[in-house]
Structure 1
């Protein structure tokens, strides 16, 4: 995520040649972020056996209040001048949208995830022209901020359909994560299945999308309706389709471009996320065998993601439209951000501290969980 924020995803040449950063991480980093949210929710609501009855209701209240903390952080960061698409408001809304699914078991969740991946891109494609034709258009063209609460229809239209992280399609990622988190992750075969199955799904979805564009006439058809003639379609399909109005041709639904929100994009990035989770679980098993905490750098940063993400965005905003300090490069700035996140995360986890925003989120969660019993 930090790499896609701080390092160029396109070369500066006229053809906007994709960089290896763009080809490797664009779309996949954000999807992994969302899938992990679903896994975390599963682990906190019963793991393999989802909560039921009063326990499930308490968990839902806690998650809803925690989402409020995340949304507040996102709306505050949205007021900064920064050239990043901030995910936190969408993330919070996803937490609310997933609440009805918390009581489901893996099989039902897999069915819901597959169905949502298939149906939501089609419905979004049909609805977007209507949303864009309204007056005012239901698109913000900026990160959601506190003042946008004054225009709720525009805010909701953007968060669910026209924004950088459309919640309507992105619910697929939380459903996938919730299904993964409900699996018996401690069993030896599960990490292998996640790694192998995720890899196969990712490769098949990518191959199908590339074939549709290059072999079956998709790219030629889209070139005729592209509303951004200054941007080469070939590069956009490889790195980032966000911001392009995907209308005028059903071929848009056949792309596997990052941030396109199509079925193939959702399937590919979900497969990559599952494979990454499987690989990390296997690495954790190796660490146990070697009696070494090989995942400490990731575990530390992962334990305080909300705080580190917010600080990262704030620091990037501080340098927005300003020259880098003397002697600094984009690569140096990236390594400074990444190393700081790893080091700070390791210190906090070793000292058994919560990050400041994680503490607020935990407090809100506990308040929600216990509020129902207090009312009775």
Structure 2
């Protein structure tokens, strides 16, 4: 009797992971600004910041499920879980470093993803309430810490970022690599750990229950809409936008247009009002709360839609069960496509990749097989998890 709800729950979570995968692919392939304008495209309005944040939240749910779900493991089982997660993290990080050597202008998330797994290890024994408290505090305070630390790190570390994706050679400048990964890069671990903690708190809930799914939906919508409303009030009537437009980078960039797409390249250290924005990848409390709320609401929708019909979202859940393989293939395809002359039309290029991902996901599911990189990561994790226990025996 217990098996059916678990299968439904995982199908919904896989579907959410599929949405994250296709959302990230869309932002990598399609333009984020309408050609010749500063108007955000529908791709930016839907997916910029939200897709990668959803990916991290679902990763947190996976960590919670790996460590006992509603009843977190203790003692030796938890130690074994942590050992397996650490090895999984190393495999993912190494893959990220390998892909970092591929010629692409995509900000690859995998190395940061592996580091996030490692940083989350101390939290894997907590229950839902403890994780929820840590997540709320982290979403609120980590951006403040980043705002204070970023100018210090930028002044003290030369250069303060790796200037692209992390690669093996960047270990020769460990201070720059650490600054980039934790604070100054595209996916700063200091703030992004909040997404992992939110996902872990969600993963500790009884996600098969209708009441929990509806509560998750309501909470997510309130957080997402509330964060945007508060940001609009602070930037508008409270005078925040006027203050930001007086900063050096506020005068240099089309700031109001960029709030819908992202603030990449903007120096946000000149004013505390930067913490009032909710722009994608701004890493502010309101940005993190908005993205986490959107992720929670979408996960709830996927769980509700697959509640009675686990295969209802098969075009999403099948590729969502092998995102490590499909994401890596996508990076390689885009590296190849970006070198073609002339450049291919982005719309058919995106849809061809989505169609191939869906077909491959469904095919492997029918064959009861896993993606090759998923098999590698889970196999290494399982060996690490069970190896020491076998030695003790």
Would you call these one fold, judging by a TM-score over 0.5? yes
Q: CA deviation at 1:148?
A: 0.8
Matched, 1:8 2:51: no
Q: CA deviation at 1:214?
A: 2.2
Q: CA deviation at 1:279?
A: 0.1
Q: CA deviation at 1:346?
A: 1.0
Matched, 1:314 2:332: yes
1:201-221 deviation digits (Å, cap 9, x = unpaired): 100001111221122211121
CA distance in 1, matches of 2:291, 2:248: 24
* 2:283 counterpart SS class: coil
CA distance in 1, matches of 2:284, 2:40: 21
**Cα 1:321–1:224, aligned 2, differ >3 Å: closer, same or farther?**
farther
CA distance in 2, matches of 1:145, 1:271: 32
Name the counterpart of 1:124.
146
Matches within 5 A, 1:2-81: 2-13=25-36, 15-81=37-103
Name the counterpart of 1:352.
368
Structure 2, unmatched stretches of 5+, are 1-23
Matched, 1:150 2:168: no
**Farther-moved stretch of structure 1 (151-160 vs 213-222):** 213-222
Which residue of the other structure, out of 336, 340, 345, is the alignment partner of 2:352? 336
Matched, 1:365 2:377: no
Q: CA deviation at 1:308?
A: 0.3
CA distance in 1, matches of 2:231, 2:35: 26
CA distance in 2, matches of 1:111, 1:246: 28
Contact 2:61 2:200 in 1 (8 A): yes
* 1:185 counterpart SS class: coil
CA distance in 2, matches of 1:323, 1:210: 43
Matched, 1:166 2:188: yes
Name the counterpart of 2:256.
234
Q: CA deviation at 1:22?
A: 0.6
Contact 2:227 2:278 in 1 (8 A): yes
1:326-369 deviation digits (Å, cap 9, x = unpaired): xx521111101111111111111121111111111011111210
1:33-65 deviation digits (Å, cap 9, x = unpaired): 000000111112111000100000000000000
Q: CA deviation at 1:321?
A: 4.5
CA distance in 1, matches of 2:353, 2:232: 34
Matched, 1:112 2:134: yes
**Cα 1:7–1:185, aligned 2, differ >3 Å: closer, same or farther?**
same
Q: CA deviation at 1:83?
A: 1.1
CA distance in 1, matches of 2:271, 2:251: 16
CA distance in 1, matches of 2:338, 2:346: 13
* 1:239 counterpart SS class: coil
* 2:249 counterpart SS class: coil
Name the counterpart of 2:266.
244
Structure number with higher relative contact order (C-alpha < 8 Å, ≥ 6 residues apart)? 2
Q: CA deviation at 1:182?
A: 0.4
Contact 2:231 2:276 in 1 (8 A): yes
* 1:224 counterpart SS class: coil
Q: CA RMSD in A?
A: 1.3
Q: CA deviation at 1:140?
A: 1.0
**Cα 1:368–1:228, aligned 2, differ >3 Å: closer, same or farther?**
farther
CA distance in 1, matches of 2:337, 2:42: 24
CA distance in 2, matches of 1:241, 1:252: 10
* 1:138 counterpart SS class: coil
**Cα 1:155–1:334, aligned 2, differ >3 Å: closer, same or farther?**
same
Q: CA deviation at 1:162?
A: 0.3
TM-score (norm 1): 0.95
Q: CA deviation at 1:231?
A: 3.1
Name the counterpart of 1:220.
242
Contact 1:164 1:243 in 2 (8 A): no
Name the counterpart of 1:191.
213
Name the counterpart of 2:20.
none
Number of residue pairs the alignment of both structures matches: 369
Q: CA deviation at 1:300?
A: 1.1
CA distance in 2, matches of 1:324, 1:355: 32
CA distance in 2, matches of 1:374, 1:136: 47
* 1:227 counterpart SS class: helix
